[in-house]
Structure 1
Amino acid sequence: MERILLGLLFLSECVILSTCFPYQYHFADQSLTWTEAQTYCRQKHTDLVSIRNSEELNQLINMLSSAGHSSEVWIGLFKEFDWKWSDGFNGTGAEYRNWETNQPGSISELYVLIGGFGRWWDNVETNVYPCVCYTGTQLNPRYVLVNQYMTWPNAQRFCRENFTDLATVRNDAENQAVTSVAQKAAWIGLFRGPNFYWSDESSFLFTNWQSGENQISSTTDMCGVTSLQNSGQWKFSSCETKLPFVCYKPAVVWRQVVKLRLKMEDSLTLNDPVLRANIMKMLQDRLKENRVSGVTLKWRGQPVEEETQTLG
């Protein structure tokens, strides 16, 4: 057994040298819009780069540092600002907006208020305001002020339980009618979804947002940038801006096969399944101790003398 253990120590040291990153990143030093960069990456590589964990973030930072590029680059992040009405209205006038200057605001503000002068701005879920509900039908609404301070989701629930829904505003006349009823800041029915996306449809769990407000203005789409200057943190920019970008593709996986010939004492045989299981467990334990992952172990016998087998 001592010779077996020595062989296992040798094998674990060899395997440690074969680990690698699962993806290769390519820095494209040409300025394209986000959509043009996406097309380029899909044709030449796999897609615009996705960042799903801190290891991939560090890999991207190191790659940009090696390329000597510190300013902004496109990554695969994007957001569709899909403003919708609470009652589901999507007919004529559903696209009507009366935003205040520099509104909508930041990416964290999902719900819309109307002010005393009829201008709109977005706000976060945790803030509380009165709300304007309506009764009747979508095409013939009657607006009602609910002078209770509540969050937008609670206001939506209240309006649906006691009236028809939060107010939908389709034109200047309806906007003036809602303003007259509200007389001060109040929730209306406009909102948007919170979701962000990666170009390759990877799950969006890991985040690395740049601190401070990220203004989204009145655009319908925004695309993600990062930079070495900001330590790889993300923010949104207009998708029509022309920037360099980073693509990715799966890394070439180098398969390293290490064979170990084990010669047994007369009292032992590698045909014993219990002995084989113990050897494989010792090897797995050694790999785990050395923090080695992504390694597949297989037992493969060879038609040699009975007392000799190969572990590959």
Structure 2
Amino acid sequence: AAVVNTTSGYTGKAWIGLYEDLVNRWKWSLPDSSFYGEGETTYRNWFGDIYYFYQYYYPGSQQCVYIYNYYYPSGQWSQNPCTSQLPFVCYNGQINGTPSFVYRAEHLTWTDAQKFCRENYVDLASVRNQTENNIISSLIGYSSAWIGLYQKKLWSDGSSSL
């Protein structure tokens, strides 16, 4: 209501304080910094320069990342609007010193998948290296699945809530 009251009847476009953090664009769902070793938060396995494709076709939409095995080499990543519904992979903690991942075949939005993983496991899967990427790729078969990487957008006041 405050914005409407201060516009004095103006009905055109106006800037608001939401912007894309171009330096730290992608964040992992699992916030525990002790989980990641040096350089492990920046591991990526993108299929080409897919970011610009989605910014063109889905401008302004919140983007989340999925892994897929449709093309060779398998286990590459792409992005989709977070409101899309896909299967997903949860991180289930360490078992005998090895990270454990669980593939869930039900189709959920990224946010609902994150909630499900947090309630039943630890979180959506964070992929820290090629070995973990290969493990997850082998779990999903000829399919695709959300992982825990999402595009962070910020408000000019420093908050990140949408």
Give TM-score, length-normalised by structure 2. Answer: 0.69
Equivalent residues of 2:20, 2:153 under 8 A apart: no
For residues 146 and 78 of structure 1, the distance between their equivalents in structure 2, rounded to whole angstroms, comes to 33
Equivalent residues of 2:91, 2:121 under 8 A apart: yes
Residue 100 of structure 2 corresponds to 142
Residue 68 of structure 2 corresponds to 115
Deviation for aligned residue 1:153: 0.3
Residue 195 of structure 1 corresponds to 154
Residue 144 of structure 2 corresponds to 185
Residue 83 of structure 1 corresponds to 26
Deviation for aligned residue 1:125: 2.0
Size of the aligned set, in residue pairs, is 129
Identical-residue share of aligned pairs (%): 37
Deviation for aligned residue 1:163: 0.9
Deviation for aligned residue 1:88: 1.1
Equivalent residues of 2:18, 2:153 under 8 A apart: no
For residues 152 and 102 of structure 1, the distance between their equivalents in structure 2, rounded to whole angstroms, comes to 22
Output aligned runs, 1:12-23, within 5 Å: none
The C-alpha deviation readout for 1:164-184, integer Å capped at 9, x for no partner, is 111110111110111001121
Letter in 2 for 1:79: E
Counterpart pick for 1:154 among 92, 112, 132: 112
For residues 155 and 162 of structure 1, the distance between their equivalents in structure 2, rounded to whole angstroms, comes to 10
For residues 169 and 113 of structure 1, the distance between their equivalents in structure 2, rounded to whole angstroms, comes to 11
| Residues 1:100 and 2:47 aligned together | yes
Q: Secondary structure at the match of 1:180?
A: helix
For residues 55 and 151 of structure 1, the distance between their equivalents in structure 2, rounded to whole angstroms, comes to 30
Flag the structure with higher strand content: 2
For residues 78 and 54 of structure 1, the distance between their equivalents in structure 2, rounded to whole angstroms, comes to 19
Residue 88 of structure 2 corresponds to 131
Structure 1 unaligned blocks of 5 or more: 1-51, 58-75, 202-312
| Cα pair distance change 1:78/1:161, threshold 3 Å | closer
For residues 148 and 12 of structure 2, the distance between their equivalents in structure 1, rounded to whole angstroms, comes to 38
Equivalent residues of 1:132, 1:178 under 8 A apart: yes
Deviation for aligned residue 1:54: 3.1
